[in-house]
């Protein structure tokens, strides 16, 4: 799933433009990355969200789905486990 497809998800339709740009940036950084390479990028993105600008559960799920769709099949279960450990 590419970033434009992901942003068509109902969960992202109310995002502020600055959050959309930040999300696009992180998704571009994740392209072609392995699970091991992706996790620190996602964690860094989550830490840098301004106070009061947390992603909703729907947004987190849609983002996770987009990330997972870009990973090789062999890495998907591993990444799902890591996301659960992070509370996503």
Q: What is the pLDDT of residues 52-73, one digit of tens each?
A: 667 777 777 777 777 777 777 7
> Residue 17 in contact with residue 53, Cβ under 8 Å?
no
Overall pTM > 0.85: no
Which structural domain, as residue segments, surrounds residue 45? 3-85
For 1-88, where are the E strands, in sequence order?
Answer: none
Collapsing DSSP to helix, strand or coil, 22 comes out as helix
Residue 25 has pLDDT above 80, yes or no: yes
Establish how many alpha carbons lie within 13 A of residue 51's alpha carbon, considering only the half-sphere containing its beta carbon.
0
How much is the pLDDT for 2?
66
Residue 4 has pLDDT above 80, yes or no: no
In whole angstroms, give the CA distance from residue 66 to residue 70.
7
Number of domains in the chain: 1
How much is the pLDDT for 80?
81
């Amino acid at each position: 799933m590419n970033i434009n497809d992901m942003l068509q998800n109902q969960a992202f339709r109310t995002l502020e433009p600055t959050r959309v740009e930040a999300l696009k940036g992180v998704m571009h950084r994740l392209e072609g990355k392995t699970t091991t390479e992706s996790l620190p990028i996602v964690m860094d993105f989550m830490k840098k969200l301004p106070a009061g600008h947390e992603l909703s559960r729907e947004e987190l799920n849609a983002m996770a789905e987009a990330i997972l769709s870009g990973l090789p099949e062999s890495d998907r279960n591993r990444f799902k486990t890591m996301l659960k450990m992070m509370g996503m």
